[in-house]
Structure 1
Amino acid sequence: MFIETETTPNPATLKFLPGQAVMPAGTRDFASPEEAEASPLAATLFDTGEVTGVFFGGDFVSVTAAPGVDWSALKPQVVAILLDHFVSQAPLFTGGDASGFAVPAEDEGDVEDDPADADVVAQIKDLIETRVRPAVAGDGGDIRYRGFRDGVVYLIMQGACAGCPSSTATLKHGIESLLKHYVPEVSEVRAA
């Protein structure tokens, strides 16, 4: 088995491609060792002591290193952990969480959509799914819709995109421009 590595726009994050599916559906973001307890693979990556984030995408794993960590020393450790996991065909998650897909509770940062905006929200969600998410996944991350209120679209960035120095530019110049172009009701995009 060979694991490819790609850089991301976030210099603290590398994207690892094991050449097989990682998540059967959805994505999963781990921002702490406590969150990673749901996944033996994520927990082992955090156990290095040099990892501050792990993100599972459809066919990749993004790993974020702590500030000041040298990727030239950490990268071989991460590759070895990933190889051990995928070669042994170990489960990605423990217990009954087979898919690993986790959606935060509705009150966890979501903005309640106005039912009168249902058509606008459907257009926004479609653009995010078909145009934005594939591009963001290419950079080792994901983006999730959190709500639409008074012309403002609220999104959350995950994986390599969370904390990326260019995430504000991505939101403002890329995603906001795209949504404003196709959905005139959109006046702004904000990180939730």
Structure 2
Amino acid sequence: MFIETETTPNPASLKFLPGREVMPSGTREFTSPESAEASPLAQALFDTGEVVNVFFGNDFISVTAAPGVSWSALKPQVLSILLDHYVAQTPLFIGGTASGISVPQEEDLAIEEDPADKEIIEQINDLLEERVRPAVAGDGGDIAYRGYKDGVVYLAMQGACSGCPSSSATLKHGIEGLLKHYIPEVTEVRAA
């Protein structure tokens, strides 16, 4: 088995492409060893002691190294863990299901949305799904919708995009410009 790697705009993160499906649908981000307990693979990556974020996409895994950790030392460890996982055909999640797929749940929304904005919210989510998510996935991450209120869209960057030096520029100049262009009611995009 051959696992490709790609750099991301975030110098602390690398994108690993195992050449097969990772998640059948959705995404999943692990930001701590405690959250990684649901996945033997994520747990093994955190067990190196040098990983601070693991993100599963459809066909990739993004891993973020802890501050001060060199990828020249960490990359072989990560590749070994990934190879062991795929060769042993270990389930991605305990119980073999993708429980906890990152899909914004009502309790995740910090913003109390106005039911009158339903059509605007649908347009926002359609644009995010069709235009933004594929581009962000190409950089080893994802974007999660967190809410809309009074013209402001609240989004959270995930995976390699979380903590990336260019993530604020992506939100403010890229995504905000796109949403404002297609949805005149949108006046601003903020990180949530």
TM-score (norm 1): 0.96
Instruction: Report whether the alignment pairs 1:134 with 2:105.
Output: no
- Alpha-carbon distance between aligned partners in 2 of 1:39 and 1:104, rounded to the nearest angstrom: 20
**Identical residues among aligned pairs (%):** 74
1:1-192 matches, cutoff 5 A: 1-95=1-95, 98-100=97-99, 101-103=101-103, 105-192=105-192
Deviations 1:148-183 (A, max 9, x none): 100000001100010111000000000000000000
Unaligned runs of 5+ in 1: none
In the TM superposition, residue 99 of structure 1 has moved relative to its aligned partner by 1.7
Letter in 1 for 2:130: T
In the TM superposition, residue 107 of structure 1 has moved relative to its aligned partner by 2.9
| Residue aligned with 1:33, SS | coil
- Alpha-carbon distance between aligned partners in 2 of 1:123 and 1:183, rounded to the nearest angstrom: 8
In the TM superposition, residue 102 of structure 1 has moved relative to its aligned partner by 4.0
Letter in 2 for 1:11: P
Letter in 2 for 1:166: S
| Residue aligned with 2:41, SS | helix
- Alpha-carbon distance between aligned partners in 1 of 2:161 and 2:5, rounded to the nearest angstrom: 17
In the TM superposition, residue 106 of structure 1 has moved relative to its aligned partner by 2.3
- Alpha-carbon distance between aligned partners in 1 of 2:104 and 2:183, rounded to the nearest angstrom: 26
In the TM superposition, residue 109 of structure 1 has moved relative to its aligned partner by 4.4
- Alpha-carbon distance between aligned partners in 2 of 1:26 and 1:113, rounded to the nearest angstrom: 23
Unaligned runs of 5+ in 2: none
Cα 1:65/1:17, change in 2 over 3 Å: same
- Alpha-carbon distance between aligned partners in 1 of 2:133 and 2:105, rounded to the nearest angstrom: 21
- Alpha-carbon distance between aligned partners in 2 of 1:142 and 1:53, rounded to the nearest angstrom: 13
- Alpha-carbon distance between aligned partners in 1 of 2:117 and 2:104, rounded to the nearest angstrom: 22
Cα RMSD between the aligned structures? 1.1
Letter in 2 for 1:99: A
- Alpha-carbon distance between aligned partners in 2 of 1:44 and 1:29, rounded to the nearest angstrom: 14
Letter in 2 for 1:151: G
- Alpha-carbon distance between aligned partners in 2 of 1:102 and 1:146, rounded to the nearest angstrom: 12
